[in-house]
Structures are given as structure tokens and as C-alpha cells.
Chain A
Amino acid sequence: MFKLNLKIALRNLWRHKTSSFINITGLAIGLSACLMLMFYVSYEWNFDKQAKDSDRVYQMMTNITDNAGAITFTFNGTTTALGSVLKQAIPEIEIASRLSYGRINLIANGQNSFKKTACFAEPTLFSMYDYHFISGSPATAMANPRSVVLTETMAKTLFGTADVTGKSVRYDDKEDLTVAAVIKDLPENSSNRFDFLMPWSLYTILDPGAREVGWSDFSYLTLVKLRKGASAEAVNSKLGPLLKRYNNGDQQHFMYPLSRLHLYGTFEQGKSVGGAIEQIRLFVILAVGILLIACINFMNMATAKSERRAKEVGVKKTIGANRLSLIMQFLTESVVLAAISVVIAIALIELCFPMFNNLLSIKMDIGYFGFEIWAVIIGLVMLTGLIAGSYPAFYLSSFDPISGMKKKTRSRGFFSVSLRQVLVTGQFCFTVMLFISTIVIYKQIQFIKNRPIGADINALVELPQDGSLKDKYEVFKTMLLRSGAVTSVTHSSVTLSHHGSNFMGITWPGMTKPANDVMFNQVLAGYDYIKTTGIKMRNGRDFSEKLASDSASLLVSASAVKVMGLKNPVGTSVKVFDNQFTIIGVFDDYIWDAPNKSNNPMVIRLDDGVPGTIVMKLNADRSFQASIETINSITKQINPAYPVELKFVSSVYADMQHGEKILGILSNLFGGLAIFISCLGLFGLVTYSAEQRTKEFGIRKVLGASVFGIMRMLSISFIKMILVSICIAVPTAWMLMNKWLGKYEFHTSISWWVIGIAIAGTLLTAILTVGVQAYKTATSNPVDSLKYE
């Protein structure tokens, strides 16, 4: 029976090529979009969940409080002292591990040097992440302070092979380390990634901050792993009283599951309020929505064909078919269709995956050998088949034999027609909403992009100041300026765009509060900072090499002046921590953090010795290409041990909108697909409706109906449905998108033209789709249509 059903299903597909094409194309695109989004969702969802015990691993978080005790900021930095205190005082904690933030450092095998992500950690880290050791073992990998663990790719990059245990590499052009182990590359979707890992014991040798066990430097991460069955809440409640003994309760810490941090990493008042998960939810809705649109196409086509199928149902019932066997037959048909579509969908995904990865700047691959993936794909086929086939199956199988064979279905078609209208309306609702969202997201991205940065970032390049560039900065600067490649050079403690080195220890004359509770951002800069970056000065002047007193002077941002309430800022003396500084200039605020946020007040201090980033303004009179080559060769000459990493500041700023970019790309892509699938469905429906009414139109034409009149008759009902869906979709989208925009401190508005474009665009596409078919029908010769029967 099943075999016969299968055969009939295939024959049916073959016989009705147009509708099969529409169904399969729609479903294939819908499925591939859905699968692709699902891959992305599962990639994000499985962040930090690869380890066996990942549910027991927690990240220590720190709350920063203001004077009133309210939490102003939550972040994952902790002090060096925290880890061991926790381990000793709280029995539920099985192990604790301190580790450094991943940072880009030099690693070399002889002349082969690369800048890769380095990390320092305590050996206990190995029991939190299930690193797969290719050689070496967790027990011995960190026994010797001067050892290093390489990832497979790192080992191959350095040595060309993964079998490198015992060999020597040079770290940061300073330390010779022995490779103690090689591990498989870390999954892309994990935090705390590194290319090479070094023991904490080495860190304490190299870094004075790490050596000192204290409570004041929040530059380290602490991970803890609880014992089996231990309650995180219980541990969290013990933390407050415990830590009071060590730091008078100034610091509030809490544990947060590491595996949740990636998706729920936005904290307000010390509580997680979401984060990337919101985008993930959006994508799930998008995925399901697109698949539904494709399923609706299938249902609509099936009900449109119902008249023809009704006869078959009637006949089968008289030769002994019961309802169940008919339902099974229709479901088989839709599952077969879904199966064919999924094959095409997988091919499509294969084709698009590299592009997709590229667009989103991630690295996913389809694990064709995983059991889950096939379970998901097969599950999706069954589900799609069932959803798409359910309506036709249950509806058609209910026909009674007599009316089925007599083609009386139209009289009882009221329900089917109205349901079809509901489905089409729903489909276009979703489409119009996507359309509007796409334009709004695009507009917001443009808005942020066009927001004046406040600095002249055109032709501005930056270079990390490491190795010999630290000591030979002056030489480097002189050589660059002499070469003519650049017009101005400066350096600063952080790059122009950075996450802020926030502090509150500033006092100024006329302060009303006992202590400052506004976060200030501090940048240490060398000479020519303002000149190079093009930040606009409001009052006063830049640091000058001619004035020795400038070492005790300060540049402040306009918003800092506002916060301090100074009438004549220039010349005012303020205290930063314990040092007295004189304000010599006020500059306009510029965007140094995410462009959609309003940045906090900022001060710039002169420190010509601090290493960080070198910023250069390219000479506008020469070609950038030539200038960059000059810079490269000069850098290589002065700092041969390090690769040259020159970056355009403008691209750094562009990268900051990564999240929005992903959202923009995905909504563009999938919005477009949704519109395409919906129109495909519409085309199918019009085709069928035209076919059903061929005779009617033939008669009407013989009676003198015009081409336009017939086109209008055929199109008007569809256009009406779309108008209804626009009426529903526009307010909904308006509301949702306003909510979305509200998340950004700087945001654009939804203008009327956005709605106008969406409406016009949808209507135009729909009218074109319907119109083409309607025109074809209307202009056909009436004799042809009247001849048959």
C-alpha cells in the first residue's frame, strides 16, 4: 500500500509540473533558510556547552556599585585573590581557575613569528574544558612554568606538523618555552579561546600584576567548577558574607553559568536581562515563519486542486478506501515532496554555507556525520510534510463519494476559500512585516554609520606598539615623517575606538558630592594626538613638546566639562587619583565606544612613554598603497620580530556594528526569500484560479468583456487579501520595530516613507505576479477555452 502511495505521489508530482515546481521550489528555499538559521541558532546555543561538565562551570562576575550601593556595572573581570579564597572557604567549589583575558601576542619558531591569541591559566582549567590532547597530558602540560600548550593549527602554523612536543618556541620575543602538549583546536563557539596556552606560574614571573595576590586589579578571569549536585544559589548566597572579610564588602561577586554567559550576557542591576538570546529568538521566529510561508503555499495549492482530487477520493471510497488510508495517501504525498525539497535544500545550503559564514564572520560547518543533524533533518521533513499536508489530507478525505464525483465541491467550498484567504493574508502579513523590518534595520545601520564620529578617521591607520616599537618610537616617528608616507604620528594607551578604561577617582573644584560617581574614561596619549586624530578642540590647545609643564596637564571632553560644571575649564586644576592636573584644552566628544551608545566623559593625559597603539595620518597627496608599503618596510626594519598589523581605523569602526550587520544581512536575505516564496504561492493560486475559471472567462469574452475587465476580476480578490494583510502588518511592524529601535541610545525613526516603500513594494510585486498570469488568461482565445468539455 505504502509503495503504491509513494508511486502515485511521484506520478502526481510529475504530471502537475507547474504546481510541483512551485511547491518544491518554495519548500526547498523555505527549508534551506530554516535549516541555515537553525544551524546558526544551534551554533550560538551551544556556545561553551561542549565540555561534559559545562553545566557545573561558572564564571565569577563582579558588580560595581556607586556610593548609594546601587549596581552600576557588571563585568567578568576579577582580582587575583578571589579564586583561591573561594576554593578554600566554600566546600561546594571543586576547583577554581584563574586565567588571563586572551590577548594577541607574538609566538615564534626561529624566524617564523606570528601574532596569535595567548592565554595564561592555572592547570585546573583542564578539568573545566575537555580539551582533546593530541600529545602530552593534562597532568604534565603545565608542570613546568616555561612550557606552552599549542592548538593543532598553531603547531602546524609554527612547525608544519602537529607532532611538536618537546620543541622550543619563543614567546613575545623574550621567553623560550617548551611545547608540553598539543591539543585539538578549540570549538569556534566557545569563549576563552586561545591559540596557545601558558601556565599561570609563568604569568606570575612575567607580569607584576599577576604576581601580586590582591583585591584591586580586575584584569583577570576566574572560573569555578561546582561539585556534583551543589546548588549555585546556595554558593552565591555564601559569597557576600565571605568576601566582606577580605574587602569590606566593596566588591560584590556572583557566579554565573559560563554556558549562559554568551547568550544572556547583558546585565542590569547585577541581573541578567538577556543579550544575544534576543537575536536568537528572533532568528527562530524567522526560521519558523519562512517555513510556514512555504507550507502555506503547499496547502493553498492543494486546496486549489481539491476539485480534481475530489473525484479520486470519491472513487476510492466506493472501492473500499476508508478515511485513514486516504489521509495516509495525502500525507505520503506531502512528505515525499518535503523529502525532495530537503535534498535540494541541503544542496542549496552546501552552496551557500561558505558565503553565509563569510557574511556572518563565523565558522560553522554541517556535521554530516552527527546523529543529531540527521534526526533534525528527518524530523523537519516529517514536520513540514505533516504541516503542509495536514489541511489537504483532512479536508479532502472528508469528501463524500457522490459530491466528490459530481464535482459539487464548490458549493461546500466556502470554508476552503475563506481558509485559503486567511492563509494568504497571514503569509503576506509576515512578508510585509519582514519588508518593513528590513528597511528599518537598514536605516538604523546607516544612521549609526553616518553619525559623525567626531574624529577624522579617513586615512587614519593604527599599529600595535609592541616589541622594539616601544623603545624606538621616536626613531620610528622620525623615519615615518621623513619618508613622507604620513603627515602626523602619535601614540596612545588604547586604540582610538576602545571599550574604555573607566575610573571614578577624579575630583574638581566646586564638587558638591563627597566623591565622584560618574565613570570617566581615561586615555594616555603622546604628542600630536589631537592633530593626528582630527578630534575637534573647543577651547585651549593640544599638548606641546615645548612646554615641560604639560606632563601635568589634561585635555577633557565637552561632556566632562558639563559633568564637572566648570564655567572656565581651561586653567582649572583637577585631581586624578592623587595627582594634580591642569586642564589645558577642551575637545568635542567623539565616539570611542559602540556608536549606538552615548559615551561617558573622557580625559586625555600626556604620557609619552606609554606603549599601546601608534596612530598615523596617511599623506593625502600620495597613494595609500605606496604609503602603506613604506610604513610596512619601516616597521619591519625597526621591529623585525613582529608581523606588521596595520589597520584602517574606519574599518575598526565598521566592525563595531557586527551584531547589527548580521541582523541586517539576515533580515535582508530572509526577508527577500519570504517575499519570493509568497509571490511564488500567489502565482500558483492565480494560475489555478484562472484554470478553474477558463470557461467562465471564455463565455464572458464572447459576451464582450474587455481584457482589462477580466484581469481585474481575476486579480481583485488577491489584491484585496494583500491590502488586508498590509493593514494588519503595518501597525504590528511599527510597534515591534519601535521597540527594537528603543534599545539603542542613538536611533533613527520609522518614517512614513519606510511604510510607503514597503506597501508599494509588496503591492507592486503582487500585482506584477498576479497581472502576468491574469493577462495571459485574459488575452487567450475564447474558442480554446470553450472547446473543451
Chain B
Amino acid sequence: MIKLENIEKYYANKGLKNYILRHVTTTINAGEFVSIMGPSGAGKSTLLNIIGMLEEPTYGLYEFMGENITQLNERKRIELYRNHIGFVFQAYHLIDEMTVAENIEAPLLYKKVGSAERKSRVADMLDRFNIVGKKDLFPNQLSGGQQQLVGIARAVVAQPAIILADEPTGNLQSAQALQIMELFQTLNKTENMTIIQVTHSEANAAYGSRILNLQDGLIIK
């Protein structure tokens, strides 16, 4: 599904190259649950951002679903976001002015899904994540864990092929974190959804099927 070859990322600063990623080469297949680990500043988030097409690599080849997307125009990228990629953020990044239901519905709106189908899918998500009672609340009325549930529901609702999660439990208490990780595992096992997460925690990483260890921009294992 994802093929990275010799991905490099650096910032040139007064003629010095400041490397973030070096020679990253890996392949992630459909249905895998990959955890990217490493100390602070190892380049984990940058790698995830490159996979999520939020950043462009300085050098290297990146194939997403068999397509070379190293250089990608905006329209094509939005197309991929709408159909294949769901993002989960550490800070949840829900839209403050929208209710829970509207937040979940938003990707479907952009994907131009019909109204009836939108309603049923949102209802399905609310049901599945046990947040039916919260559907008319605004994000600031929810706890962190609940907000992240909504964030995941929003990522999943468009039925993406892959979920990219940047420290999804970083702001949560351990009990809530556990719940989120179990949810990811279920999604991965039952729906065969590809998941890539960045995490600090060994325990969280253990939920995945594979661990990519990054150190100073290099994959060490």
C-alpha cells in the first residue's frame, strides 16, 4: 500500500543541511498496524506527515496505492484525503463551532455523500463509539477522551483505507488511552483498516503488528 524509498528530509540552514529524515526505506502493506517510535526529535511526526502528504520529502520516492505521489497537486491530494486517508491528532483538532454530529458529518459533506446516507453513517458512528447522547454537544463540553473518540469517528466515517494517528493518546489519561488503543486494534482486525500511529509508549506500540524505530532520522530496526 505504501512504499517509501530513500526518503530524505532536511532544512538547509546557512549552507548546513539539517537532517530530519535520512534514507528512510520501508513498505507498509494494507491491513498492517504500524507504530512509529523513537525519542523526541527523531523525525517520527515528520515521517507521518510525509506519509499523510502534509509535508513533501526533500528527496526520495513515495508510492501510495501504487501511485507515485512525490509531487502531487493540491486537487489530487484533497481527492486522496476525501477517499483514502483519515487523520487523528494528538490535540484532537475538532472544529469548535460544530457539534459532535456535525464534526463527524463534515468529511462526508466534502466527499459529497448524499444526505440520507450521511445521516445513517453518522448515526452508525455515534452508535458504534457510544456517543449518541453527546451528538448535540460542542467539543468544549466533552472530556479529552470523548473528544478523541469523536476525532477517530470523524477519521473513520469516510471509510478510509488508512488512518494516520499522531500520538493519539498523548493528551489522555491511561484509562482513556487504553480505550482508544483497543478501538484502533478492533478497527484494524475487524475492518482490515491500515493504521499508522506515532507513539512514545511501548505499551501502545504493542497493539500494533509492527514497530518502526526511528533515531536521528534513521530507521534502526
Chain A's interface: helix, strand, loop or mixed, by majority?
helix
Interface residues of B in 3-17 (CB under 8 A from A): none
Residue of A nearest to B155 (CB): A319
Residues of A contacting B96 with CB < 8 Å?
Answer: 15, 312
Question: Which residues of chain A have C-beta atoms less than 8 A from B81's C-beta?
Answer: 317-320
A316 within 8 A of B: yes
A316/B106 in contact, CB under 8 A = yes
User: Which of A311, A318, A319 makes the CB contact (< 8 A) with B54?
Assistant: A318
A320-B78 in contact (CB<8A) = yes
A-side contacts of B158, CB under 8 Å: 319-320
Q: Known contacts A321-B110, A322-B78; is A11 also within 8 Å of B54 by CB?
A: no
Q: Are B98 and A320 in contact (CB under 8 A)?
A: no
Q: Which of A389-434 contact B (CB under 8 A)?
A: 400-402, 405
Chain B: minimal CB distance from A631 (Å): 73
Decide yes or no whether A85 CB sits under 8 A from chain B.
no
With an 8 A cutoff between CB atoms, is B23 at the interface? Answer: no
Binary interface encoding of chain B residues 31-73 relative to chain A, with 1 for a CB under 8 A from any of its CBs, else 0: 0000000000000000001001011000000000000000000
Enumerate B106-158 residues with CB–CB distance to A below 8 Å. Answer: 106-107, 109-111, 154-155, 158
Once A and B bind, how many residue pairs between them come within 8 Å at the CB atom? Answer: 62
User: Is B221 among interface residues, defined by CB-CB distance under 8 A?
Assistant: no
Q: Mark B76-91, 1 if CB is under 8 A from A, else 0.
A: 0010011000110101
Contact partner, A314, options B93, B111, B155, Cβ 8 Å: B93
Residue-by-residue, is A244-271 near B (CB-CB < 8 Å gives 1, otherwise 0)? 0000000000000000000000000000
Chain A residues whose C-beta falls within 8 Å of the C-beta of B106 in the assembled complex: 316, 319
With most chain B CB atoms within 10 A of its CB, the pick from A318, A400, A402 is A318
Residue of B nearest to A401 (CB): B54
Report A12-23 CB contacts with B as 1/0, cut-off 8 Å. Answer: 100100000000
Write out the residue numbers on chain A whose beta carbons fall within 8 Å of the beta carbon of B97. Answer: 8, 11-12, 15, 312
B86 to nearest A CB, angstroms?
8
A311 touches B49 (CB 8 A): no
Interface check A548, CB cutoff 8 A: no
Q: Which of B54, B74, B110 contacts A320 (CB 8 A)?
A: B110
Chain B residues within an 8 Å CB radius of A630 = none
Asked if B95 lies at the interface with its beta carbon under 8 angstroms from chain A, I say yes
Q: Of A8, A317, A322, A325, which is within 8 A of B98 by CB?
A: A8
Shortest beta-carbon distance, B154 to chain A, in Å? 7
Assembly CA distance A382 to B78 (angstroms): 29
- A319 and B154 contacting across the interface, CB-CB below 8 Å: yes
Q: Which residues of B lie under 8 Å from residue A323 when comparing CB positions?
A: 74
Q: A315 at the A/B interface (Cβ < 8 Å)?
A: yes
Q: How far is the CB of A403 from chain B (nearest CB, A)?
A: 10
When distances are taken between beta carbons in the complex, the residues of chain A under 8 Å from B78 are: 317, 320-322
Q: Give the distance to chain B from A504, nearest Cβ to Cβ, in Å.
A: 78
Q: Which of B49, B81, B93, B107 has the most CB of A within 10 A?
A: B93
Residues of B at the A interface (CB closer than 8 Å) are: 49, 52, 54-55, 74-75, 78, 81-82, 86-87, 89, 91, 93-98, 102, 106-107, 109-111, 154-155, 158
| 4 A-B pairs with least C-beta separation | A320-B82, A320-B110, A319-B107, A315-B93
Known: A316-B110, A321-B110. 4 other contacts (CB 8 A): A319-B87, A319-B110, A322-B74, A402-B54
